[in-house]
A and B are shown apart, each in its own frame.
Chain A
């Protein structure tokens, strides 16, 4: 170890110190857990048949069971956004940007975030409680003493299943909030008649949506659920594994798994929005 240290240049020493300091912080530990999970996928004990089964179970657990709630939330959210946008935008004379507003709010920003929040609240907390209980019940110790890596056995399938579920559910959210939102808005308009002053046709909505969607949106539809899924699962597993046979830590771990997921998701979302800023800058330079 001593020799190793002496070979480092002064700049190397700074990076060495920074890296070690980073790994001591919570984000550093989360990152380390993520890297370990990815590496465990390639470990010698890989067994794709059981893995596949676990991943499918986890996907079902994370995604399918939450679908009814997500469907209702998405539909009503879509309705609100469509009705509000259509009525306000036509009043201020921006009726031609309705598609852009819908894409930005539903597809780009709030769709993935809402989905991630719902899944963090439901599956993230459940995962943290399950792993925390396993820790209290010495099941994690039992796994290790049988030579079974808890990361390989518990975290890896949850991560894959979680990411797949968040991805599918994000798409479900966007589709149902725009589709069902349109239908419910249409019913509103039919019931309210002329009082709402909204001219809503599917053809109009569809064309403005398709016009507003850019390539970056499609990249983000894949990238955001991926990042959010990783955040939810890794944070939940980390909080669960931290319980350390102490019952008092279990409620804390559960609430932290939700609250910190929210925090990290919003931070990640803000960081991903930087891509859009670059895109806007590009567009502005084109105009100039």
Chain B
């Protein structure tokens, strides 16, 4: 069976517009200060030689310090950014760089849950969840209503179905966003920090839901997270984004025992806590 996702030698860099003060302090710069400044583009590589493959139904957590480009990697997989070079295969199908766009990749049943939920602010929660179903015309209005009701019940947000997103808390927004991705029956679900901003109670409720999705619907899930313990609780492999590239996937326990410097740094608190309790 084809792999759900395969990334080969992916590179990504950005061109930053770094503004430098004008070199010579002529009359203009004396009068106008730094208003007229020359800007130059500097090239900065963010991701280098990323290789990854996922089997259908597999869950993997991507960890690492913040600012390393974990969310960026997820955006690349979802098609919101174009890679510089490298190949991406979705369920065995190669998507060339010209076709690498979010709309094309969404057609391959890839769902993305963004960090802030990104619900459409002028639609109610119910309409937000129904939006992709209505747009892609997945069934009649009655079927859509049923499916939306089911998703809202599953994420336990049906009490706020008629509310607008700005009235919801961060945790609720996130659960609605997961419900919105879930209604489209994604085969590959990308989640950016699903547990950030959630209290312990909601976090503990969310993890079985992710687990259910994996076991019932065979959804392949990629989770970018700071919450490393989640990998242990979901019994999934953990990959680190370290030094612009991805490490090999290993279990939570492996990394816990690992002598790698970054792993020791990241797991120090967890080990201490384990010692305490």
- A133: chain B residues within 8 A (beta carbon): 121
Q: Are B137 and A45 in contact (CB under 8 A)?
A: yes
- B101: chain A residues within 8 A (beta carbon): 144
Q: Which of B106, B116, B118 contacts A147 (CB 8 A)?
A: B106
Q: Are A137 and B137 in contact (CB under 8 A)?
A: no
Q: Is B79 an interface residue (CB 8 A)?
A: yes
Q: Are B132 and A138 in contact (CB under 8 A)?
A: no
Q: Which of A47, A50, A141 contacts B114 (CB 8 A)?
A: A141
Complex formed: what's the CA distance from A207 to B59 in Å? 79
Q: Are A145 and B134 in contact (CB under 8 A)?
A: no
Query: How far is the CB of B19 from the nearest CB of chain A, in Å?
Result: 13
Query: How far is the CB of B140 from the nearest CB of chain A, in Å?
Result: 12
A47-B137, A147-B136 known; A142 vs B118 contact (CB < 8 Å):
yes
Query: How far is the CB of B178 from the nearest CB of chain A, in Å?
Result: 12
Complex formed: what's the CA distance from A134 to B238 in Å? 33
Q: Is B64 an interface residue (CB 8 A)?
A: no
Q: Is B103 an interface residue (CB 8 A)?
A: yes
- B114: chain A residues within 8 A (beta carbon): 138, 141-142, 145
Q: Is B107 an interface residue (CB 8 A)?
A: yes
Complex formed: what's the CA distance from A210 to B105 in Å? 59
A140 and chain B: residue at smallest CB distance: B118
Complex formed: what's the CA distance from A190 to B80 in Å? 67
Which of A118-177 touch B at CB < 8 Å? 130, 133-134, 137-139, 141-149, 153
B183 and chain A: residue at smallest CB distance: A146
Q: Is B102 an interface residue (CB 8 A)?
A: yes
A134-B121, A137-B118, A147-B107 known; A153 vs B102 contact (CB < 8 Å):
no
- A47: chain B residues within 8 A (beta carbon): 134-135, 137
- B181: chain A residues within 8 A (beta carbon): 146
Interface size class of B (residues with CB under 8 A): 20 to 34
- A138: chain B residues within 8 A (beta carbon): 114-116, 118
Complex formed: what's the CA distance from A36 to B118 in Å? 25
- A141: chain B residues within 8 A (beta carbon): 75, 80, 102, 112, 114, 118
Q: Are B135 and A139 in contact (CB under 8 A)?
A: no
Q: Interface residues of B: mostly helix, strand, loop or mixed?
A: mixed
A133-B121, A139-B118 known; A146 vs B184 contact (CB < 8 Å):
yes
- The number of chain A residues with a CB under 8 A from chain B is 19
Query: How far is the CB of A89 from the nearest CB of chain B, in Å?
Result: 50
Complex formed: what's the CA distance from A134 to B135 in Å? 18
Q: Is B168 an interface residue (CB 8 A)?
A: no
Contact with A along B52-82 (1 / 0, CB 8 A): 0000000000000000000000010011100
A45-B137, A138-B116 known; A145 vs B106 contact (CB < 8 Å):
yes
B128 and chain A: residue at smallest CB distance: A142
Q: Is B180 an interface residue (CB 8 A)?
A: yes
Q: Is B22 an interface residue (CB 8 A)?
A: no
Contact with A along B102-125 (1 / 0, CB 8 A): 110111001110111011111000
Complex formed: what's the CA distance from A153 to B103 in Å? 13
Contact with A along B72-101 (1 / 0, CB 8 A): 000100111000000000000000000001
Q: Are A145 and B135 in contact (CB under 8 A)?
A: no
Complex formed: what's the CA distance from A120 to B5 in Å? 46
A139-B120, A142-B118 known; A148 vs B132 contact (CB < 8 Å):
yes
- B110: chain A residues within 8 A (beta carbon): 145
A137-B118, A147-B106, A149-B103 known; A142 vs B136 contact (CB < 8 Å):
no
- A147: chain B residues within 8 A (beta carbon): 102-103, 106-107, 132, 135-136, 184
Q: Is B207 an interface residue (CB 8 A)?
A: no
Complex formed: what's the CA distance from A147 to B109 in Å? 9
Q: Is B131 an interface residue (CB 8 A)?
A: yes
- A142: chain B residues within 8 A (beta carbon): 112, 114, 118-120, 177
Complex formed: what's the CA distance from A116 to B156 in Å? 47
Which of B114-155 touch A at CB < 8 Å? 114-116, 118-122, 131-132, 134-137
A47-B135, A50-B134, A139-B121 known; A144 vs B102 contact (CB < 8 Å):
yes
Which of A79-127 touch B at CB < 8 Å? none
Query: How far is the CB of A65 from the nearest CB of chain B, in Å?
Result: 15
Query: How far is the CB of A266 from the nearest CB of chain B, in Å?
Result: 29
- B105: chain A residues within 8 A (beta carbon): 145
Apart from A141-B118, A142-B112, A147-B106, 18 more pairs, CB < 8 Å: A45-B137, A47-B135, A50-B135, A137-B116, A138-B114, A139-B120, A141-B80, A141-B112, A141-B114, A142-B120, A145-B106, A145-B110, A146-B106, A146-B132, A147-B102, A147-B132, A147-B184, A148-B135
**A-B pairs with lowest CB-CB distance, top 3:** A147-B106, A144-B102, A142-B118
User: What residues of chain A have their CB less than 8 Å away from a CB belonging to chain B?
Assistant: 45, 47, 50, 130, 133-134, 137-139, 141-149, 153
Interface CB pairs A-B, < 8 A, 6:
A134-B121, A139-B119, A144-B101, A144-B106, A146-B131, A147-B102
